[in-house]
């Protein structure tokens, strides 16, 4: 009997709503956009797909936040996407205002939602939503790591010539060029990836993953949506089913990994309360160094956001 709101009915938001509807895990999905007709139209279209694909999820949409009342989960995808030549951080001032405004509107109609942020620059937009919401930090987190590992897993599957289903991977750090890949924690049906892929090839795949978002921006003139939308939906599904799936998510570290008050990617268990646990890995010296650099890069943008005095 759950309700999920997706704010932003653009490429990522609509894809996310579509994947969620197909999963048939919630009673209702609400799409909200400043372009109310776009949200209403896409919700209607996905609802009309239900008899074809066979799901019961009801969809509605518009620009009125009253529609979102008593949502269990809110997924924020509102914002402008990246264009060629832009970094994720270039989006900060535009998207920060949007994310803060959206969060304030949501809180008017739902007291204690779980908020999943997808808008970029991801780590800082998650911080912005958390700050604007005043919610417990276990209830506000961001989607980046599932997407980054998905890209990495897809590239590895291509290289090995196996199904991407058999590739398990974990990474940490910020969503961007400073992400921290952990090939030590990558397996192919239990086999360490290093036994199947040569170091040079693995390094090249890691490098391609770091710039995986940019590769798509260059191809399409805008940022990706199928994998990002599905990844955000996957987080919501683990929460709705209280599955405690372990995913890399952008969370507020509170001393774990000796990092405090910074939102970065780490392995977490996702269940009905949101972040049920942040898993602590024993990182090696070089991995810790990469993570610290990544956290420092995120902190710089968090400070820039604080300087904007938006929330």
Query: Would you tell me which residues interact with ligand APR (CB under 6 A)?
Result: 7-13, 33-35, 38, 77-79, 81-82, 91, 95, 98, 101-102, 118-120, 222-223, 225, 228
Q: How far is the CB of 225 from ligand APR (least distance, A)?
A: 5
Least separation in angstroms between residue 5's CB and ligand APR is 11
8 Å CB contact between 236 and 73: yes
CB of 73 to ligand APR, least distance (A): 17
Of residues 180 and 232, the one with the C-beta less far from ligand APR: 232
Q: Which is nearer to ligand APR, 123 or 287 (CB)?
A: 123
Size (the chain), residues? 311
Q: What is the closest distance, in whole angstroms, from the C-beta atom of residue 151 to ligand APR in the complex?
A: 13
Q: For residue 93, what are the contacts with CB-CB under 8 A and spacing of at least 6?
A: 308
> What is the residue-wise DSSP string for 51-108?
HHHT---EEEEES-GGGGTT-SEEEE--SPPP-TT--GGGGHHHHHHHHHHHHHHHHH
Q: 131, 175, 210, 299: which is the annotated catalytic residue?
A: 175
For residues 94 and 163, which CB has a smaller minimum distance to ligand APR in the complex? Answer: 94
Strands of 191-192's sheet in order across: 167-168, 187-188, 191-192
Contact 298, 262 (CB under 8 A): yes
Beta pairing class for 171-172 and 167-168: unpaired
Distance between CA atoms of 273 and 244, rounded to whole angstroms?
Answer: 10
Nearest CA among 155, 160, 103, 96 for reference residue 123: 96
Beta carbon nearer to ligand APR, 186 or 223 = 223
Residue among 247, 251, 225, 226 nearest 236 (CA):
247
With CB atoms as reference, the residue minimizing the distance to ligand APR is: 10
237 closest CA partner among 35, 45, 55: 55
Nearer to ligand APR, 33 or 287 (CB): 33
Would residue 22 show up in a list of annotated catalytic residues for this protein? no
Q: At a CB cut-off of 8 Å and minimum separation 6, what does 125 contact?
A: 76, 79, 95, 96, 99, 117, 119, 142
Q: Which is nearer to ligand APR, 163 or 226 (CB)?
A: 226
CA-atom Rg of the chain in angstroms: 19
* Interatomic CA distance for residues 16 and 21, integer angstroms: 9
Residues recognised as catalytic: 175
């Amino acid at each position: 009997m759950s309700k999920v709101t997706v704010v932003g009915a653009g490429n990522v938001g609509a894809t996310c709503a579509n994947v969620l509807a197909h999963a048939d895990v919630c009673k209702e999905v609400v799409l909200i956009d400043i372009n109310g007709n776009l949200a209403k139209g896409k919700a209607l279209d996905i609802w009309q797909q239900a008899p074809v694909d066979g799901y019961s999820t009801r969809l509605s949409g518009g620009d009125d936040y009253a529609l979102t009342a008593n949502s269990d989960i809110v997924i924020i995808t509102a914002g402008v996407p990246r264009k060629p030549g832009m970094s994720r951080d270039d989006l900060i001032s535009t998207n920060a205002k949007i994310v803060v405004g959206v969060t304030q509107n949501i809180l008017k109609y739902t007291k204690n939602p779980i908020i999943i942020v997808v808008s970029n620059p991801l780590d800082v937009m998650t911080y912005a939503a958390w700050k604007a919401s005043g919610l417990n930090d276990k209830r506000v987190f961001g989607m980046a790591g599932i997407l980054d590992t998905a890209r990495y897993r897809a590239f590895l599957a291509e290289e090995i010539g196996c199904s991407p289903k058999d590739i398990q991977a974990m990474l940490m750090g910020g969503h961007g060029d400073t992400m921290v890949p952990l090939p030590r924690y990558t397996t192919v049906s239990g086999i360490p990836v290093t036994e199947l892929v040569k170091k040079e090839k693995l390094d090249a795949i890691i490098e391609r993953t770091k710039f995986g978002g940019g590769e798509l921006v260059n191809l399409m003139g805008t940022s990706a949506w199928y994998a990002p939308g599905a990844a955000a939906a996957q987080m919501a599904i683990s929460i709705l089913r209280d599955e405690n799936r372990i995913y890399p998510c952008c969370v507020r570290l509170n001393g774990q990994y000796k990092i405090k008050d910074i939102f970065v990617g780490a392995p977490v268990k996702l269940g009905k309360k949101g972040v049920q646990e942040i898993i602590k890995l024993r990182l090696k010296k070089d991995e810790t160094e990469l993570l610290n650099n990544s956290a420092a890069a995120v902190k710089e943008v968090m400070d820039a956001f604080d300087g904007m005095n938006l929330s």
